[in-house]
Chains A and B, each alone.
Chain A
């Protein structure tokens, strides 16, 4: 990762701000969710739009594929989560329960669970297969902005505008830890692929790395000049990519926390960053109404 090479392949557009991106497990499809209430599917190889999924009644804030790629999950400000078939884009199911806008959603790596959070200050865990609500986790005192599942344990992390960052055992619903360190709201979360580190991005412009399982702070990554809105790990865990309010995407050495590269990719906040499962691509979703697709070499 010392010689990180990136080249911009394409710019995809929505009529309105883009909040989320996700690659299919085979890295061939990119899904994007927008404030225009739709989801678009893009063929990564041909860089063309292949489907536009309509049905949500408000902006789409999160998208995630099932591990087999047959389903696409979405969360919306309309308070619902939806399950779509992929790549056809037909609606399979709608899940309701949140009492206010949803802000975030994540899928457990085994594909069994969905977690969501939002303006009703609750974290909700859903059975992804059945499309039913499994558990409601309360304790945050403000809007929940980020959520992430551990890849190795039944752990769920959630973070909120009140600065709280909680670790939950989602099997039991017990809150295990409260992590403090960020100044102001905590915006986004990502577990490393080996489950040994949790990364959090905040309104204080920092990314903080937390050691699992003792949850002690490891490193603070400074560089963003605006709120850190998005985080992801590369599949091999050696790289962190982050998106900021200033429109940049930054790459960090996950081991030592050094910044490796900055892409001035967008003209407005970056709300979503994702690296493809085959490590060939990176995509970023921005409030500037575009998605940038990059070749990672």
Chain B
């Protein structure tokens, strides 16, 4: 995934601006080298850091076929699946999630997710905000905000890594925009379009350290950039690029060959091939393992885009055929991640959220699919010290609308900020017009009282 010494030599000489920027999408916290060194000096002291793994089910997962089965609904709504009992009496989930059923004591199941904009995009899950009417510079994604507020845990480890793979749909492959916090806080994206291999193309670390021309190139780039925060980003990039290149920590975290083979099997490995038709991403369970390794190495926020959940029906397979394909793999990878974090004593420090853009229509369409349903969806949360073993919210008999405890996307993100020690009622960041912006609409949304 990340190669320091690639097969080709083409870095400083003839390097393009685009190439620099490809390497440069790194969240750094925008702090100075002395601060980085200070952060570096803190490493090895044994202090733990809080982190978040965000798993985005690209396309919108079917709430009623996963965690909110409607057995009293008519057949054209009920669907093909049966519920199964779980470790928590009274909680039932889909028969195709048997491992999660055995782990519901470690899950918070949200059955009443609301506030969807109805748009096919990771944006709302990554920022909590709708795409429309953004402030100057745009809303920053959660990871970029954390990068801005908390910076790197240690030198050579970016605060925010997105494992969003290449997809044709940019909305699904969106790794998370930095918005008004600036390019310095963009995620490091080893899998994104054009960056499948962070290859420095034959440049060794020793050579790189001597390359004064690199600095010259960067200085020239800096002059080309406008004053909207990108210069700060390039400074940070400059520092971070050296930080990453002179530390093998990130490379090691992304090198899954270093991991125990049995554990990798437990995660399910997965495939890098598209998981469905068209603009599908892969069902890559290795990403879950990589996420654990990244947070273990010091990354604060890891986002993952997983599979293709936009199941409108034939000829691309019915909702249920696709669910029979995706659910067992999610079941395996997600339970492996939770189990692994717990074994390592990390589960209370790592928050996990699993969700998509929206739910899906109660009524099965004529092609055996379910269409978009922004009125309600579902989410799973685990770790981070939240109170688990519970279901939050409920929908009506047909799974159309919440009838109890609607939970907004911003409620979930407020909870994640809380888990990272950030007070959403106090912290603001200025947008590019200098206007202070709260991270969350805190008047309407707060950390979920059931969880924290």
Contacts and interface: CB of A to CB of B under 8 A. Distances in A.
Interface string A132-164: 000000000011000000000000000001000
Given A103-B315, A161-B366, A16 B324 contact: no
B277 A143 contact: no
Given A58-B277, A161-B366, A226-B80, A15 B316 contact: no
B261 interface: no
What is the interface residue range for chain A against chain B? 20 to 34
A103 B277 contact: no
Contacts of B273: 15-16, 36
A143 B321 contact: no
Interface residues of B, number: 19
Nearest to A101: B315
Contact of A35 (B271, B317, B367): B317
Contact of A287 (B278, B321, B367): B321
A90 interface: no
Interface in A60-110: 61, 77, 101, 103
Given A36-B273, A268-B324, A287 B315 contact: no
B277 A269 contact: no
B274 interface: yes
Q: Interface on chain B toward A: helix, strand, loop, or mixed SS?
A: loop
Given A59-B315, A61-B315, A103-B315, A288 B325 contact: yes
Contacts, number: 54
Contacts of B316: 35, 59, 77
Contacts of A58: 277-278
A119 interface: yes
B152 to A, nearest CB: 37
Interface in B258-296: 271, 273-278
B314 interface: yes
Interface in A209-260: 226, 245
Contacts of A11: none
Given A59-B277, A268-B325, A17 B317 contact: yes
Contact of B321 (A36, A119, A268): A268
Contact of B367 (A59, A143, A267, A289): A143
Interface in A250-291: 267-269, 287-289
A35 B325 CA distance: 13
Interface of A: 15-17, 35-36, 58-59, 61, 77, 101, 103, 118-119, 142-143, 161, 226, 245, 267-269, 287-289
9 contacts: A16-B274, A17-B325, A35-B276, A59-B315, A245-B320, A245-B321, A268-B321, A269-B317, A288-B324
Question: Which 6 A-B residue pairs are closest in the complex by CB-CB distance?
Answer: A15-B273, A287-B321, A101-B315, A268-B324, A77-B315, A269-B321
